[in-house]
Amino acid sequence: MKEIGIQRAIEEVTIDGVKYQIDLSDAKKKKYSELSFRMKKVGSEMGKVAKIEDEKVLRNALDELKHETQAIMDELLGEGSFDEIYPKTNESTENTLMVIGEVMTYIRERQEEMYQEKFQKKREKYVKSK
């Protein structure tokens, strides 16, 4: 009888010494691509915020960007992760976005590696059998 193991679709990342689990299930991968678009939008909005001259409008825009960054990070790394990471960035929304960007890049690279490994194993198996 052959034993077949099951691998969970979970990746771990460590951010400033704290481990976070990233769910790589199909449903979450779709959600992460949505988050990627939202993150790009927040990044472009940051550039626009620099040109705002009205103090009240500026304050509101910065609060909105912070709130959206929090929503993205909590979705990606789990509820409360923003509250742990944001203070460590000296309460910088920009730097927090950079952390999110690094995590998203890691997810994309890791998935590419996994697909390459699967393809390589199948190819080797096929070549051996010929």
Question: What tens digit of pLDDT does each residue of 90-127 get?
Answer: 999 999 999 999 999 998 898 888 778 777 777 776 66
* CA distances to 3, 12, 21 from 67, in Å: 47, 25, 22
Name the burial class of residue 71, with classes exposed (0-12), middle (13-18) and buried (19+) by CB atoms within 10 angstroms of its CB.
middle
Q: Provide the CA 47 distance to its chain's centre, in angstroms.
A: 21
Cα distance between residue 23 and residue 25, in whole Å: 6
Instruction: Output the pLDDT for position 89.
Output: 96
Give pLDDT, residue 20.
95
- How far apart are the C-alpha atoms of 76 and 101, rounded to whole Å? 11
pLDDT of residue 129: 60
For residue 15, what are the β-bridge partners? 18
As beta bridge partners, residue 14 has 19
